Chains A and B, each alone.
Chain A
Amino acid sequence: MTDPILQIDAVSKRFTRSPGVLLKGLDRLTGRDSSQTVHAVTDVSLSVPRGEVLGIVGESGCGKSTLGRIVSGIYTPSAGKVTLDGDPVARDSRGNVDKLTTRVQMIHQDPFASLNPRMKVGEIIAEGPRIHGLIPAKDVQSKVRALLEQVGLEGAYANRLPHQFSGGQRQRVAIARALAMQPELLVLDEAVASLDVSIQAQVLNLFMDLRKQLDLTALFISHDLSVVRHVCDRVAIMYLGRVVETAPANQLYEKPLHPYTSALFGSVPTLGTGRARFQPIKGEIPSPINPPKGCAFHPRCPLAGPRCRVEVPRVVNASSERSVACHIQDGGTGAENEAAA
């Protein structure tokens, strides 16, 4: 565990929507600021050792996909940096992202959108390695066949177009495309979320097999807690752009430390006898344009105290393997003092 391949170091990503020319002029006259900033990811630090699958879990809009895109070099962080074995994954040249490495590959959520509808599957898989000279030209055909077979498709499918495949098959093609680049790190962004449950299981099993065979390191982004438990070694829970808890999967599921994590587990419907007793988290996820002061979770937190409303909790190590960002684990919420006074 001392050899992190991926280092995410205090990364933040803000999206600023600048107002139009007219509004800008008006702003100058009135002294207002009409630009809106979305704080998609705030001050996230994570490190992933070689061979580990790290799950990133959170509600919709918590910034987990943005984090995945930063790691794959599609976005550049507004602050902080992402390094792979010490080298940055992307460079920012005047606002345009310049991806530096082929060593990180991404698998997208929707296999109906992530494959170019006008290219044959074989071309889709072979394009990247051919351009980057990873495979000698004469071996391209056989390599494509081998990859297709590796992901459980027939080699002869190389001449077909994406629309001739089902969702699960397309996702296999997307996996083959990513593997063709011989990546050291895979980013799976909700890679099974859009598939039927039975197909999800097939694709997940494929991923697990490939992981064993190829010793893959991966960032597994998902909102599905049971899938994450099945697949991941370690899990990071995100809320409103921040990582609130990181822990090995088995420990996290046994004993969540952060109130948000507990709430997440409480909100998963379970099949049981009698009526369902799952508890949704009260309230809506706040707007990332105007996040709450202090701990972002305090408006929905059952344990929140006065300190939570003003002070952003630090990330503290709860044990050698776990860390959590909650005042309860770091000197109390202030509610105790209030009760005493």
Chain B
Amino acid sequence: MRPLLLAAGSVPVLAFAMPALAATPAEVVDTYASLAQAAYDDSLSAARDLQSAVESFLSAPSPERLSSARAAWIAARVPYPQTEVFRFGNPVVDDWEGKVNAWPLDEGLIDYVDPSYGGATDENALAALNVIGNPTLTIGGQAVDASEITPALLADTLDQADGVESNVARGYHAVEFLLWGQDLNGHGPGAGDRPWTDYAQGAECTNGNCERRAAYLRAATQLLVDDLDWMTGQWAEGGSARAAVTANPEAGLGAMVKGMGSLSYGELAGERMRLGLMLNDPEEEQDCFSDNTPNSHYYDGLGIQNVYLGRYVRTDGSVVEGPLLRDLVAATDPALDAEITAKLAASVAALGEVKAAAEGGLAYDAMLEAGNAEGERLISAAVDALVDQTHSFERAIGALGLGAIAFEGSDSLDSPDAVFQ
């Protein structure tokens, strides 16, 4: 039986009517897996569109085609952030996500950078490696033949080279850097402004190595498509990620709430938003080359809400929905359900205000500037709303009786090394 579906934002009175129709945990985790499958599938389609736009640009570089490729990248950042809520509770996703969304990156690993970027750092000897400019490289004392830039070179040799996390050679943000270039405007207006001629072949080529740059962009885009294709498969019927949450529905519910809370609090509110504000660093924003950060944050927040409301609006406007987590909470604690629903709406609204302000001309990097009171207010309001809803998610763990399950194997309590037993 399909329970009544609640529209987003419906009043708690309806929730009181739900217990008799409450979904079972098995149905709810099934919905969850279907939302994930749809969101990754949309991310994959958008990455394929990006790949087409990139190929079109590389086959005949022009300002218009560069703009089209950038627009395709921005469009790809609508569905993907809505998948991030699936990350923290699911090891299949968490172990993989660095391939597609690693950030921050030392972009000098990939291509030429402005002199103000500096060179190698204490943390990263390869921070200015410049693969595009150097067919022969030395990594960790070993000579590396980079004469051909291939997906395998990026995946197996360059990404995370020397064990340094900011050596990000692949994923959305590597592609973003290749399309936009560095944002050298500091807190001032404007995103990265890489000239289309960085990909022009022959005499028009700017900044050298245009063929190698094209090969890099092509390889990174291909990897992104391949990686998303793999993850979409993991959530399909028979896939490992779907199996992990459906095999034990109680554990699946734990994964759902853990993903909501960890993305909301430690990751989005903490690492991505509050930290940027406290460091006042214009490049401490996730989509720093394109200035698309407010959109990515907004869709992250929407993804959290999606999981609770059991509903995802696909890129084509169709809706995936089913028995929802909300019903389970409402069945045991209607007041808590009302609290969570209201807080989710508030956090999405606060993230929406940041997005709207950016669309109105107040760029995210300007919001981060020391002394920008309006930017600080907007970002702090979103951070507070995200932190606030996390407290309610903790209450949901109690209400659902998931205390013993939610964090099993999820914190960093690695099994003790046998050597020391």
**Pairing of A with B:** no
Could you tell me which A residues sit within 8 Å of B by CB distance?
none
Could you tell me which B residues sit within 8 Å of A by CB distance?
none
